[in-house]
Structure 1
Amino acid sequence: MSHGRVWSPVITPFSADLSPDTERFVAHCRWLLDKELGLAVFGTNSEANSLAVEEKIRLLDTLIDAGVPAARLMPGTGSCALPDTVAQTRHAVAKGVEGVLMLPPFYYKGVSDEGLFRYFSEVIERVGDERLRIYLYHIPPVSQVPLSLALIERLLKAYPANVVGLKDSSGDWSNTQAVIEQFAGDGFQVYAGSESFLLQTLRAGGAGCISATANVNPGPIARLAKTWQAADADDQQAALVRTRKIFERFPLIGALKAVTARFGDSEQWTRLRPPLVELDQQQRGELFALLDDLGFDMPGLKQS
Structure 2
Amino acid sequence: MSAFATPRVFAPVLTPFRADLTIDAPRFVAFCRWLVGQGAGLAPFGTNSEANSLSVAERCMLLDRIAAADIDPAQVLPGTGACALPDAIALTRHAVATGCAGVLMLPPFFYQGVSDDGLFAYYAGVIDAVGSERLRVLLYHIPQLTGVPITHALIERLVAAYPRTVVGIKDSSGDWANTVTMLERFPGFAVFPASEALLGRALPLGAAGCISATANLQPHAIAQLLAAPTAVERATWEGRVSTVRTALQSASMIPALKAVVAHFTRHDDWARVRAPLMRHAPSDVRALLAQLDALGFAMPSIDEAHA
Q: Whole-Å Cα distance in 1 between the matches of residues 230 and 109 of structure 2?
A: 38
Partner of 2:153 in structure 1?
Answer: 150
- Note the C-alpha offset of 1:231: 2.3
Aligned mates of 1:248, 1:157 — CA distance in 2: 37
Matched, 1:292 2:293: yes
Which residue of structure 2 lines up, in the alignment, with residue 179 of structure 1?
Answer: 182
Matched, 1:112 2:115: yes
Secondary structure, in 3 states, of the residue corresponding to 1:209?
A: strand
How far does the alpha carbon of each residue in 1:57-116 deviate from its partner, in whole angstroms, 9 at most, with x for none? 011001111111111100000000000000000011011100000000000111111110
Superposition pairs of residues 53-92 of structure 1, within 5 angstroms: 53-92=56-95
Q: In the alignment, what sits opposite 1:214?
A: 215
Amino acid at match of 2:225: L
Aligned to 2:104, the other structure's residue is in SS state strand
1:136 maps onto 2:139 in alignment: yes
**1:4-49 Cα deviation digits (max 9, x unpaired):** 2100000000011111100100010001000111000000000000
Identity in percent: 52
Query: Does the C-alpha gap of structure 1 residues 48 and 228 become closer, same or farther in structure 2, counting only changes over 3 Å?
Result: farther
Which one of 95, 98, 104 corresponds to residue 95 of structure 1?
98
Task: Give the superposed CA RMSD.
Answer: 1.3
CA drift of 1:228 comes to 5.4
Offset of residue 199 of structure 1:
1.9
For 1:201, the equivalent position in structure 2 comes to 202
Give the match for residue 47 of structure 2: 44
Contact 2:12 2:216 in 1 (8 A): yes
Task: Measure how far apart 1:203 and its partner are.
Answer: 1.1
Task: State the distance in 2 between where 1:276 and 1:209 align.
Answer: 25
Give the match for residue 189 of structure 1. 190
Distance 1:199 1:41 in 2: 25
1:10 maps to which of 13, 22, 26:
13
What is the TM-score of this pair, normalised by structure 2? 0.96
Query: Residue 119 and residue 300 in structure 1: after superposition, are their counterparts in 2 closer, same or farther (change >3 A)?
Result: same
1:201 Cα offset (Å):
1.5
Any runs of at least 4 consecutive aligned residues in structure 1 with deviations exceeding 6 A, and if so which? Answer: none
One-letter amino acid of the structure 2 residue matched with residue 39 of structure 1: L
Segments of 5+ residues of structure 1 without an aligned counterpart are: none
- What is the deviation of 1:2? 8.7
Q: What's the CA shift for 1:178? A: 0.5
Gaps of 5+ in 2: none
CA 221–155 in structure 1, closer or farther in 2 if over 3 Å, else same: same
Tell me the matched-pair count: 302
What CA distance in whole angstroms lies between the structure 2 residues aligned with 1:81 and 1:224?
38
Deviation of 1:302 (Å): 3.8
Cα distance in 2 between the residues matched to 1:224 and 1:3: 13
User: How far off its partner does 1:295 sit?
Assistant: 0.8
1:161 equivalent in alignment to 2:170: no
3-state secondary structure, aligned to 1:232? helix
Q: Give 3-state SS (helix, strand or coil) of 1:259's partner.
A: helix
Contact 1:199-1:228 within 8 A present in 2 as well: no
SS in 2 for 1:231: helix
Shift of 1:188: 1.2
Cα offset, 1:152, TM superposition: 0.1
Q: Distance in 2 between matches of 1:229 and 1:109?
A: 44
Which amino acid counterpart does residue 131 of structure 2 have in structure 1? G
The answer for the alignment partner of 1:280 in structure 2 is 281
Q: Give the distance between the partners of 2:180 and 2:203, measured in 1 at CA.
A: 10
